[in-house]
Structure formats: structure tokens, C-alpha cells
Structure 1
């Protein structure tokens, strides 16, 4: 089927949809990009949607493996978030990395695609990931500068203060939950100035934990999520090594006509 308008989503776990678990979707996840595509298709059935994002990918992998594949699909719209997995590494040359990022964005824009970019999330509230906050701030300034120069739309994740509420996050505290992905889809469409019919989620009340209860919960989280995450990085493996892209060619996702 030929789609005159084609939306291609590029990136890592954030764009693949990790945290928005859905056994009926490819790779077992749905995510904000799927929800954005569904809204675009509901408004105009000429849209097709491809999602090339794979969890665990670093920026150079995303640029080297996904940009050419996206260009081959002749996209009219591209969303791209890359760099979070690099920022979490022990060493990073942000300036050099962003030179390659700028080149990739330039290629997409030169091909005629509208491009949506993201700043990084403000990790001030995380005892573990808060240590990378300074790196993320530098990365964000690069993203804003490149977005200005390349005339790209920007979703300023850093300034979306709603996401400081941890009820928008999955139990691993690394990925957004279904509620978070739903909210992000609405914010992306709003940044694009596109109408949508997404119902924003109502958050369940979360009882306050006593200090010892919180310490036990933090220790369990570290055992179940942080330790395996660190172990994979020490071994040089990724949770996405055995996965392929959810939608490698433009389609109408099966949920597009079913729900917002």
C-alpha cells in the first residue's frame, strides 16, 4: 500500500515504547510514537507509519543504522531521540557526538522531512541518574541549537515538569509507564500543532512510604533493575540485541482505528 504521507520514528527504548507493555504489539510494547501515528491516521488515512527504534541503541548506532533506512522510506515526518544511552556511559565526548547528530538531522531535513527532536529528561529527582544531569543540560543546549539551525520542531522533555511525578514511570524507574507514554504522545502532537483525541491518564493515588519502607523499595529496585542494567553494560550487551524494528516499513498500526 502506498502512503502519500509517511511518519518514521527513530531512536532507542524511549521511541520503541519500552514501559508501555502490550503483548499485542510488536516487541511487546506500544509507546508514544504508536499513539502519535494512530492520531495522525485517525485524522488523515493517507498517513503510513514506520518505527525503526530499538532499545539499548546509542546515538552513533541510531544514526548509522536508522537514518539511511528512514531516508529509503521517503518520510514526510521523522521523530528522533538519541543520546540517552551515551550520556549514561562512563565517558562521553558530547561535542563530537553532536556533530554527527547535526549531520544526521541535516540529511533528514535536506530530504524534505519535517523533523521533531527531543531534549533529555531532567533527572534531578533520581539518586542514581541524577549524577548525569550536567551532561544532559549540555546535550540539551546542543539539541536546541541544532533544532533552531535546522528548523526542526522540539519537544522540550527537560521542561515538561509533569514527568517529575514518578507515577508516569514504569517500575524500573528508567522508562515511562503507559500513563507516561500517553502523556508524551499528547505533548508531541501539541508541539507539532496537530489536533488529537487522546484522553490524558488519571493517576492512581500512591501512598507515602515510611523511611524504612522506602529504603527497602529502593534496595529491591537496585537488585532487580540497576544491577542487571550495569551488568549488561559491563558485558557489552544490550537488551535490544536480539530485536528487530517494530514496523520496518510504513503500515497502519492495528490500533489506529480502535482507540486513542
Structure 2
């Protein structure tokens, strides 16, 4: 009897929590959506946090949707490129990056893009409100390649689809629960919602994702959603993973002031 109880308690204590590889630290940032102010503050907070922590192979992952809706998508892209010169920063493609790139193909796609935050992105590249309003859709479509250079589009087109580290998979929207990680479709990784969010069972990895807005970090065991709606809530979130520990760093606006909050997860 005592031996049986001992085995039960020992097996429970040996249950491993999801972890990233030993000696690494990951800062995973949710949907920025043009909020350069919150992003700059979060970069500063991440740098301070990393400097105050034990030395590690630090990696930074942006979960996509850097652009649209917020006021300075161009600034977010520029700041990310600068950060990549200083740090190991990897960027995942979001559905808004996909819409952005596809808007150069046909006016009808551009129309859809403009309805979903693309207007703010185009304005952030230096066109005046007056000039924007004066253009027809066809004129705007013809003007876009002059406004946003090919080098910028090539940079965005090179964003990754999925990153795997230890027991975690990082992706913009989620995955199809019925499909192995190595066979996921791009459309699902950038756009999926209900089939992924409603899945209650175990997944191949713990999926850290953005895309769907939550009031707070949503830890469901098999997935962790960290899109806290920066463009409308004024809260931008980074999930910090080190070993099997988790914590969050958030920047938020309050009376025109940006505050930083660090919280330890269970």
C-alpha cells in the first residue's frame, strides 16, 4: 500500500511543465497593430528585463499583425528592422501582413484592406489625409508601389509562418487541431479562429498565438493567447518563457502616460 502511494505521489511530482530549451529565454510579443508608442516602451522593458536576468540565449518573437489599425505601422516596421540589427528578433506573418501585400495585386483586394485598418497603414507612410481622400481606389492602387518601396514589401513577405522551441509552437492565429504541425496550411496559421479556439484536447505543442483579442492573457493549457488588443485597449503584451516558467510584461496607456507591468504566471 505504501509503495503504491509512493509511486503515485512520485509520478505526480515528476509531471513536467511545458518548457523552452535550457539556457534560452523567449520574449514573445502579441499583435502590435501600429502602436509604436506601446512597442517602443515594451522594447525598453524587455531590454531592461533581459539585462537584469541571468545570461541566456535570448530570442524575441513577434506574433504578426505589426501593421494596420494603429497610427504608425511604418514606424513599427522600421523599429523592428532596427531591433533585428541588435537582437535575435524573428517575425511571424499575420493576416494583416497578408492583406497588406495582396492589396498591391488588385483594387478589389485593396478595398478590403482599407476597410480593415489599411487606411491607417497607408497614411503612416507619409501620404497626407487630403491626398488620400482625393484619390479614387484605382488611383490609390496605382500610387501604392511609389509610396511603399519593393524592399519594404520584400521584407514583410519574408516573415515566417511558425516557430517551434521546446514544448511550444509560436504562430499568428493558431493551427488546425486535426493536422500535424509540419503539415499546417498557411491560411490556417494566419486566419484560423473557432476550430482552433474551441478545441479542448491536447495539441502537439503548447501553441502561443495572437490574432484573437482577449482582455487578458488567455492560458488554456493547450494554447496561450496573448493578443490583448493594443490598438483599441492600449495594452501590449509580451510573454516571457524561460525553462518551465512563464511571466508577462505589459505596456499600457493611462492618461497619456505609458506604464509597464510585470507579472509572474502560475
- Normalised by the length of structure 2, the TM-score is 0.35
Hey, which of these two has a bigger chunk of helix by percent? 1
Pair member with larger Rg: 2
TM-score, structure 1 normalization = 0.36
Structure with higher strand content: 2
Instruction: Name which structure has the greater RCO, CA cutoff 8 Å, separation 6+.
Output: 1
